[in-house]
Amino acid sequence: MSSSSVNKRDEIHLQSNNRLVRESLIYHRKDLVRANITSDEGISLLDQQFDSSDNSNDTLIDYVYNCCKLTDTTPANLDFIPYKNVLNVEVLPNESDEGESEDSSNIIEVTYALPPDNANHDLKISKVKLELENQPELPTNISQFILSKSYKNNLIRPKILVLINPHGGQGNAKSIYKHKIMPVLQAADVKITYIETKYHGHATEIARDLDINSYDIIVCCSGDGIPHEVINGFFLRPDKGLQAFNKIAVTQLPCGSGNALTLSTHGTSNPSVSTFRMLKAHKAKLDLMAVTQGTGNKKTTKLSFLSQCYGIIADSDIGTEHLRWLGPVRFEIGIAQKVFGGAKYPCELYVKEKISNKSEILNHVNDYLTNSNSNDSLPSVTEENLTISGPELDEPVPDDWKRIPDDITHNLNILYVGKMPYVSADAQFFPAALPSDGAMDMIVTDSNNSIWKLTSILLAVEKGDHIEDEKVHHVKVLSYRLIPNIRDGSKHYISIDGEDFPFEPFQVEILPGVLTGLLQDGNFVETSVTK
């Protein structure tokens, strides 16, 4: 046999071996990656090459991107999966040992979120099968061990009731849920009950009649209207929602035109990223506000989680509903019309102040943030928390209330009171608002300011700098009463959480720590005041 034929045969043999090695590596990398869990921060992948320029070590909690795609591949340059990125863990049978119980297996499948390469890429969810190397040191329940580190909020595979307003988000809510929210929930293996609301007030009825033991979280895939209805549905229960407020967290994922709750708690209007952040959030107590109108047998009290407004903001919001097809620009058009028209809204305004000095408000915020701890156990809501203690609307206000001077209220153009820092993606209207400080933030401006001054104040709202302006009255209050002094109320509006309320006197008081919400590290997202 010639040497050339031997060399050729050897070459074929080597090529065959090389192909087998490559196939083995590809199979091993894609379907079974060696790993260990010795780190306190995540899972180390031993078979992966790490590219130091990659951002894979960063946790997704720091990213805000646009979509969610499922993939079953593992990037070749990933060598570490942070626990914060893990969505689910399943223990698989160890195929090498027949008859071995799944509990003792060191083979797991990890579902995790992978940060995109840049802001133009979609959020990705990946799965990888791992063979854990440090088996003698492994905890008895590997899945529970990893998930407990991944979900430090203890909300592992929660039971979720999804309430979706199919008409929200200019009719796109169902599509947003299906393509951006549901894949993330399914990846986390949560238990989902899905209900579409059929009419205005339907979510209130659902919350009123709900079996609260069946759910851990109510997720409102909507604008701010469905959370408002859910909270008031709880309040209509025989115990005024006492058990529901203690048992169930209420949150929002952005599927509507107004997404203040998700912006303030999850820090993004991106549906898939906000879903991820919701799953990783901590339960926390939030203050609510009780809004009372009417007297005697016509007296009604409803709960507010977001805001109340009277004046330019209310008229520009509720008063432009007929222009909803224009999207957010309708609100800007309404604002411009009122500002340049010199609109003013005379009223009587009485307040029970908590903090009136702006520097003291900043100190209050700093003290709150310094002393807050997301690991603290949640206080239980009691009947006292839900008791309305203010005077009747036809009674004089107590002596410790203050009447705002007539030179302000006779020329008032904006009264805005809130408990959430963000009212829209480009409006930090209440940057000093805190989850449960037992106070509401009140913002008042008047037409004694020039048009250009008011315009500059409103432009500063985007960054939350407006509260620093000396022409802006900013106080933290415990209660207040507003009496409109406009003859033709049919052309004007009072907005509560973005909902149209009767144009008549109303009174509001704080209800401390009633609502259970979901927050990042136990606080609202960062604002100009809290950063």
The verdict on whether 394 is a catalytic residue reads no
Bridge partners of residue 345, in order along the sequence: none
Q: Which amino acid type is present at position 21?
A: V
Choose the catalytic residue: 216, 224, 287, 497: 224
For residue 451, what is the enclosing H or E element?
A: helix 451-459
Q: What is the DSSP string of 255-322?
A: -SS--HHHHHHTS-S-HHHHHHHHHHPEEEEEEEEEEEE--GGG-EEEEESSEEEEEHHHHHHGGGGG
> How many alpha carbons lie under 13 Å from residue 452 in its C-beta half-sphere?
0
Tokens of 128: 């990888």
Pick the closest to residue 517 from 430, 443, 420 (CA basis).
Answer: 420
Tokens of 320: 């432009």
Give how far Cα 325 sits from Cα of 1, 58, 292, Å. Answer: 84, 39, 32
Q: How far apart are CA 450 and CA 12, in angstroms?
A: 87
Q: How far apart are CA 453 and CA 142, in angstroms?
A: 61
Q: How far apart are CA 427 and CA 335, in angstroms?
A: 13
Pick the closest to residue 111 from 29, 184, 191 (CA basis).
Answer: 184
Reduced to 3 states (helix: H, G, I; strand: E, B; else coil), residue 207 is: helix
Instruction: Please provide the size of the chain in residues.
Output: 531
Instruction: Give the residue numbers annotated as catalytic, written as ranges.
Output: 224
